[in-house]
Amino acid sequence: MIALDRAQCLALDAADPLRALTDEFDLPDGVIYLDGNSLGVLPRGTAARLQDVIAREWGTDLIGSWNTAGWVDLPQRVGDKIARLIGAGPGQVVAADSTSLNLYKVLTVALDIVESTAYRDAEQPQDAPRRVILSERSNFPTDLYIAQSIAAQRDCELRLVDNPADIPAILASDEGAELAVLMLTEVNYRTGERHDLAALTAAAHAAGALTVWDLAHSAGAVPVDLVGAEADFAIGCGYKYLNGGPGAPAFVWVHPRYADRFRQPLSGWLGHADPFAFDTAYEPAEGISRYVCGTPPILSLSALECGVDTLLAAEPFGGMPALRAKSLELTDLFIALVDALPAELGVTVVTPREHARRGSQVSLTLAAPRHEAGYAVVQALIARGVIGDFRAGDPRDLEGHPHILRFGFTPLYLSRTQVFDAVAHLREVLDTDEWRDERFAARGAVT
């Protein structure tokens, strides 16, 4: 049952055990933050933790902290915590580098595996080399750019699907025999649409291909079961739902069946089996530790640990499944309230309504004559303290890729009442034409 009136929202919030988790954060008063999918909010513990790392670990204990404060193991320690959120085991994840760099590592390794004699011997001998990386056109650009570089370096082809619904049929068709890697982002950054990670992984494997999953909009947002799905590689972001802070390190997971057997291409000294032997020859560390490259950014990793801890704080309340249930309740409520807006305001929900096909965000478009107003509408909402963001459409195909007003829902700190109020603000901004104010037209470098 969806509460459409504010009093019901207040009552449901008062009875919500997850409400206690709001205390994990310091949010400015009067802000309804619907952008945790882009930059998670500041956890209450982060400033004190960083102060301690700076003043005591660095300031007082100096270089000894690499040993005494466990700095050198921080990528693994934070990785183990992230693993609990994405259905991976201990020792299977490291927090390191950026999502883009981690994608470069795992996509290269996936292609190396597919080209390896052992992998090819397991297939029909007449199979031609698998040269295709399959992804979707609306994948996040950095993922496509990294794949383009790799494709150029090693004579592969990046093939893009326009409609993600076509992927299972492509995998099952003759094209399947050309595929090396299926590279997808589980939850689409524009539309909030969620793929069926387990089913597509199984379909890719049946076609003889490997899978690389980008969990940028999944980790901390939806329950993920990488081991259960038998996925091959995954990467994801630390600064979105993991609340790690701007530019937080990313993470990388490799299925244990591959982690030890292949070298990742960015073979830096801290991914070496014995960095302090200062050997001239590279010898990869065991397992996922080889996916660390250079010296870990201790301040950023410490902040990321605080962010991940805010999600682990939900474990006594039911963990990711409980957070998912609340996330769906919040997005259902937002969708129902938007649906109830007067038709002449022309607001349309782009995100799928089926729970299984939805991440933790809801994307809207505005119909003509307001279609171009999306950016200004978001700015007007921000001026009212309702923070979402805007993603421009594709000018060549605004029908298929319209301008998007994007709202992320983080169940750790959002209430139903805030969702209710956010839609009331949206209605007022449109009803009163407030967005037409010229101060809402100026574009910053980051939208």
Annotated catalytic sites, by residue? 140, 214, 239-240, 406
Q: Of 46 and 135, which has the nearer Cβ to ligand PLP?
A: 135
> What is the residue type of 144?
L
142 binds ligand PLP (CB under 6 A): yes
> Pattern of binders to ligand PLP over 229-248, x per CB under 6 A?
--------x-----------
Residues 6+ apart with CB under 8 A from 368: 346
Prior bond of 369 cis (ω within 30°): yes
Q: Of 217 and 272, which has the nearer Cβ to ligand PLP?
A: 217
Q: Of 248 and 259, which has the nearer Cβ to ligand PLP?
A: 248
Q: How many residues bind ligand PLP (CB under 6 A)?
A: 13
Q: Of 11 and 101, which has the nearer Cβ to ligand PLP?
A: 101
How far is Cα 86 from Cα 236, in angstroms, rounded to an integer?
Answer: 10
For residue 263, the minimal CB distance to ligand PLP (Å) is 22
For residue 249, the minimal CB distance to ligand PLP (Å) is 9
447 binds ligand PLP (CB under 6 A): no
For residue 238, the minimal CB distance to ligand PLP (Å) is 8
For residue 244, the minimal CB distance to ligand PLP (Å) is 11
Q: Of 100 and 267, which has the nearer Cβ to ligand PLP?
A: 100
Q: Of 214 and 329, which has the nearer Cβ to ligand PLP?
A: 214
185 binds ligand PLP (CB under 6 A): yes
For residue 251, the minimal CB distance to ligand PLP (Å) is 11
Q: Identify which range of 22-30, 108-116, 137-145, 309-317 contacts ligand PLP by CB under 6 A.
A: 137-145
For residue 377, the minimal CB distance to ligand PLP (Å) is 23
> Pattern of binders to ligand PLP over 249-288, x per CB under 6 A?
-x--------------------------------------
Q: Contacts with ligand PLP in 207-226 (CB under 6 A)? A: 214, 216-217
> Exposed, middle or buried: residue 195 (CB in 10 Å: 0-12, 13-18, 19+)?
buried
189 binds ligand PLP (CB under 6 A): yes
- From 140, 334, 375, 435, residue interacting with ligand PLP (rule: CB under 6 A): 140
Residues 394-422 as b/e (b if ≥16 CB within 10 A, e otherwise) read eeeeeeebbbbbbbbbbbbbbbbbbbbbb
- From 8, 98, 148, 447, residue interacting with ligand PLP (rule: CB under 6 A): 98
Read off φ and ψ for residue 362, nearest 5 degrees. -130, 130
389 binds ligand PLP (CB under 6 A): no
For residue 121, the minimal CB distance to ligand PLP (Å) is 34
How far is Cα 223 from Cα 234, in angstroms, rounded to an integer?
Answer: 14
Q: Of 186 and 309, which has the nearer Cβ to ligand PLP?
A: 186
Which 3-state string (H, E, C) describes the chain? CCCCCHHHHHHHHHCCHHHHHHHHECCCCCCEECCCCCCCCCECCHHHHHHHHHHHHHHHCHHHHHHHCCHHHHHHHHHHHHHCCCCCCCCCEEECCCHHHHHHHHHHHHHHHHHCHHHHHCCCCCCCCCCEEEEECCCCHHHHHHHHHHHHHCCCEEEEECCHHHHHHHHHCHHHHHEEEEEEECECCCCCEECCHHHHHHHHHHCCCEEEEECCCCCCCCCCCCCCCCCCEEEECCCCCCCCCCCCCCEEEECHHHHCCCCCCCCCHHHECCHHHCCCCCCECCHHHHHCCCCCCHHHHHHHHHHHHHHHCCHHHCHHHHHHHHHHHHHHHHHHHHHCCCHHHCEEECCCCCHHHECCEEEEEECCCCHHHHHHHHHHHHHCCEECEEECCCCCCCCCCCCEEEEECCCCCCCHHHHHHHHHHHHHHHHCCHHHCHHHCCCCCCC
For residue 97, the minimal CB distance to ligand PLP (Å) is 8
Dihedral angle sign, alpha carbons of residues 437, 443, 446, 447: positive
- From 100, 148, 267, 447, residue interacting with ligand PLP (rule: CB under 6 A): 100
171 binds ligand PLP (CB under 6 A): no
- From 112, 143, 329, 389, residue interacting with ligand PLP (rule: CB under 6 A): 143
Q: Identify which range of 135-143, 190-198, 366-374, 386-394 contacts ligand PLP by CB under 6 A.
A: 135-143
Q: Identify which range of 139-147, 155-163, 198-206, 346-354 contacts ligand PLP by CB under 6 A.
A: 139-147
Q: Identify which range of 93-101, 159-167, 317-325, 363-371 contacts ligand PLP by CB under 6 A.
A: 93-101
- From 65, 99, 108, 365, residue interacting with ligand PLP (rule: CB under 6 A): 99
Q: Report the interface residues with ligand PLP, using CB under 6 A.
A: 98-100, 140, 142-143, 185, 189, 214, 216-217, 237, 250
